[in-house]
A and B are shown apart, each in its own frame.
Chain A
Amino acid sequence: MIGGERHLLSMADLDRDDIEQLMSLTASFAEVGERSIPKVPALRGKTIAWLFYEDSTRTRLSFETAAKRLSADTMNFSVSSSSVNKGESLRDTVETITAMGVDGIVVRHRAAGAPSRVAEWVDASVINAGDGWHQHPTQSLLDLYTAREHLGDLDGKHVAIVGDIKHSRVARSNALAFATMGAQVTLVAPKTLLPTHFEGWPVNVTHNLDEVIDDLDICYLLRMQLERQADAVVPSLREFHTEFGLDVRRADRLGDALIMHPGPMNRGVEIAGEVADRPNAVITEQVANGVSVRMAVLFLLLGSGLDLVDGRRAAA
C-alpha cells in the first residue's frame, strides 16, 4: 500500500509522508543494487504483467530490472504482436491477463487515464508507467530521489521545468511532486507549449527562461517532440533552442544547479550537446535510480509489507 492505496496512478494521490517512506525504502534497495548478487526474494511467487501500449525502452527495462531484483515473475503483453491489433478492447485484454493470475499490472498508454480505467476493472495493483500527457509517477519519484541525493531536503529549493509542458506527463507529475516536497516550481515555456489553465497548480509560470535561470537549484528540461514545429507550435526547433534551450551560456549561469532530463534527450534542441555531459547534469544517475525507486514501488504495492529486505523488516 502507498498512501492507503493499492495502486500508484498519480502523484496527486501521494502526500509528503508517503513520498518520504518511498524515498527511505528506495535507499535500502539502492544498497541491494550495489551487491555482487543484486537480488532479494521479496516478491518471490508474485507475478507482474507489463501492459505497454506505447513504445518505451527505458521505463520498461527499468521496471523489468526492478522486478527481477525482487525475484518476481513477469509476463509481457506486447501490444504490437497481440490481440490488440485484432480489435480486442482494453477491458477484455486486461481481464484476459488477470485471468492468468497476476498481482500487479504496469500500464503505459498513450491515453490519459488508461491506468485509472484498468484499476476499476481488476483486483490486481495497477502501476502507472506513463499515461498520455497526464502522469508518470515513478519518473517523479526517481527525480525526487536523485535531486535529494545532491541537494538534501528540497524545502525552498527552486525548480524550473522547461519546454513542452503542455504535452508532458513528466511535467504534470513533477510539478506536483516537487511542490509536495516543499520546492518552489516554475514552469517555463511559450503559451503554445503550456496548458491553458493553472488554477490550483502549485507553480509559477514564465515565458522567459533568462528571468529565472540565475536563481535555480534544478533546471529540469523536457524532451521536445521533433514533430511539434509541423503543428505551428513553435516556428522552428532552432528558435526553440535559442529561446528555451539550455545552451552553454545559460548552463554557465546555472553554477552548480542540477541539470535533469527524463530522456531520451534531443541534444541541440532542449539541451546543448556539451551541456548534457557536464558534471552537474545528473541524467544517467536518474536512470540508475529508476531501478531502485521502482523496486520500492513494486515492493510496497505487491509485497506483504513484512518481507525481509536486507535482513531487517521493511517499513510498510
Chain B
Amino acid sequence: MSPTIAITGAQLVDESGTREADVLIADGRIVDVGSGLAGDINVAANGQVVAPGFVDLHAHLREPGDEEAETIETGARGAALGGYTAVVAMPNTSPAIDSAAVVAQVIELAAAANLCDVHPSAAITIGRAGEQLAPMAELVRLGVRIFTDDGAGVQNERIMRSALEYAGSLSHLADGAPIVLAQHCEIESLSRGGLMHEGAWSSRLGMPGQPAEAEELMIMRDIALARLTGGRVHFQHVSTAGGVAMVRAAKEAGLPVSAEATTHHFTLDHSVCASFDSVFKVHPPLRTAVDIVAIKDGLADGTIDAIATDHAPHTSHAKDATFADAPPGMLGLETAFALANTELDLPLEEIVALMSWRPARIAGIDTRHGRPIAAGEPANLVVLDPEATWTVRGSAMASRSANTPYEGRELRGAVRHTIYNGELVVQEGTATR
C-alpha cells in the first residue's frame, strides 16, 4: 500500500468550478475532499491550484525506432513534469504503430515506466503510406481510440472516406466510445518542398513556403467527409486563421468535429525563422500574427477544444543542420502549461479545461482523466503554481532531446507536483522516479 497523501490549502479547479479545500489520496483514489485533512505525506499547497492531471492529445515519444531522441520512459517523465497524467503517443515511429505487436510494445514500455498513462494512437493506413487501412478493429480491441497518419494527412479522399466509415463501425469494441480519426491537414501537392509558412518571411529569406491553403483545403475536405460519413474527425495542430474559421462553421452546423492547437502555434510567428535556426522548423509551420490571434480566439470561444503539444524531440545532431535538412518538430511537454498561462488571456479554469477534461473526452479516456476532484475519483492530479516564474533550459529537461524554441525565455506558471495513480511522480518540480 502506498502512503496516503494530503494536499492542503489549495484552490481546487475542475469542471464544476473553483473552491478551496484539502484533498486526501489513498490507494490510487481521492478518498476525501474537505478541511483539516492529513496523510502520511502532507503537501502544503497554499496559494496553489489542484487540477485534474493534463491530457496531451499529441506527443511523439519516438519509441520504437528513434530512442536516441526520446524513449517512452523519458517522454513520460517529461510529461509528468509538465503536469500530464496521460498522453496520446503518435504512431509515426519506426516501425509505425500500425499493428497489434507495436501497440502492445508501447503499452508494455509505458507500464514499465509508470510515470503517466501513455495511450498509443495508431496509423490510419499501413506504414502511414495512405493506401491500405490498418487493422483498426484489432487495434481498437487493444485500447486504441485515436487513429492518425500524423506527420502526413491522408491524401486520398476515397481512403479517408473509407477510414471514417470503417472507424465509425467500431464503437461497440470500445464500450461505446467514438473512434476518432485525427488528421494532420496538409495537401502535399501544395505544400511539397515547403520549409516554413509561405508569406512575407519565406519570400524574403528565399525559403520555399507552405501556403496556409494547404492546411485549409484539407480541413475543408474533411469537414465535407465528416458530413458524408458521420465519422468523428479531430483536426490536429490547427495553425491557420482559415482553418479555425472552418472548424467553427462546422461545429455550428452540428458536425462531429473537434480540434487542437499547439502551444507553439499561439506563441511564435514565422518571423523567428529569419535566424535560420532549425529549432524553429516545425510542421505545420509557424504562421503569422493574424493566425495567432485567430487561434487564441478559437481557444477562447471553444472552437478549438484542446491545447496539445506536438512534442517532437530531435537530437542536436539532427537539428545541427541547415533549415532545409533538419527534421521538423520541437519540444512541448515541459513548457505547455507555462506557455498557456503566460500567453493566453484566459482564466485559469479555461486553461485547465483545454488541457484536461476536454482532451480527455476526445481521447476517450475520461473515465480516468479530467475527472471531478471528489471522493472516489481516480487520483490523477496536478498541483500548479500559476504565479511562479522560471527560465526555460533545454538541457534541464527530462527529454533526451533539447530542441525547445523557448530557450532562455522566462515563463510564468509552474507544475509543482503531479500525482499519478495516487502517487507523487513529480514532487516540488522534480521527478521522483
| Interface residues of A, Cβ cutoff 8 Å to B | 89-92, 109-114, 116-117, 120-121, 131-135, 169, 172, 195-201
Contact = CB atoms under 8 A, between A and B. Distances in A.
Contact of B275 (A91, A116, A200): A116
A199 B276 CA distance: 19
B389 to A, nearest CB: 28
Contact of A172 (B199, B206, B278, B325): B206
A89 B199 contact: no
A133 B200 contact: no
B317 A134 contact: no
Given A112-B276, A116-B275, A200 B320 contact: no
Contact of B207 (A109, A113, A121, A199): A113
B41 interface: no
Interface of B: 198-200, 202-209, 211, 275-278, 317, 320-325
B206 A132 contact: yes
A112 B204 contact: no
A201 B320 contact: no
A92 B324 CA distance: 17
B209 A117 contact: no
Q: Which 7 A-B pairs have the closest CB atoms?
A: A113-B276, A133-B206, A195-B203, A134-B206, A111-B322, A111-B324, A91-B320
13 contacts: A89-B320, A91-B320, A92-B320, A110-B324, A111-B323, A112-B322, A113-B322, A117-B322, A117-B323, A120-B277, A196-B203, A197-B199, A197-B202
Given A89-B317, A112-B276, A116-B275, A172 B322 contact: no
Contacts of B207: 112-113, 132-134
Interface centre among B200, B211, B317 (most CB of A within 10 A): B200
B412 to A, nearest CB: 29
A261 to B, nearest CB: 20
Contact of A196 (B199, B206, B317, B320): B199
A197 B198 CA distance: 8
A119 to B, nearest CB: 10
Contacts of A131: 206
Nearest to A91: B320
B202 A196 contact: yes
Contacts of A195: 202-204
A158 to B, nearest CB: 23
B198 A172 contact: no
A92 B317 CA distance: 9
Nearest to B273: A113
A91 B317 contact: yes
**Consensus secondary structure, chain B interface:** loop
B205 A134 contact: yes
A112 B205 contact: yes
Contacts of A116: 275-276
Nearest to B320: A91
A134 B278 CA distance: 16
B402 to A, nearest CB: 15
Contacts of B320: 89-92, 117, 121
A168 B167 CA distance: 47
B200 A199 contact: yes
A196 B210 CA distance: 11
A196 B198 contact: yes
A89 B198 contact: no
A264 B110 CA distance: 58
Nearest to B278: A117
Given A116-B276, A196-B198, A197-B199, A111 B204 contact: no
B322 A90 contact: yes
B203 A117 contact: no
Given A112-B276, A116-B275, A91 B204 contact: no
A114 B209 contact: no
B204 A200 contact: yes
B204 A172 contact: yes
Contacts of A111: 322-325
Contacts of A112: 205-207, 276, 322-324
A86 to B, nearest CB: 14
Contact of B324 (A120, A132, A169): A132
A112 B317 CA distance: 19
B321 A91 contact: yes
Contacts of A90: 320-322, 325
Nearest to A90: B321
Given A90-B322, A111-B324, 11 more contacts: A89-B317, A112-B276, A113-B276, A117-B276, A117-B278, A121-B320, A132-B207, A133-B206, A196-B199, A197-B202, A201-B204
B203 A197 contact: yes
Contacts of B275: 116
Contacts of A199: 200
A197 B322 contact: no
B204 A114 contact: no
Contacts of B200: 197, 199-200
Contacts of B204: 172, 195, 197, 200-201
A11 to B, nearest CB: 12
A190 to B, nearest CB: 16
Contacts of B202: 195-197
Nearest to A114: B322
Nearest to B316: A91
A198 B204 CA distance: 8
A198 B203 contact: yes
A117 B275 CA distance: 8
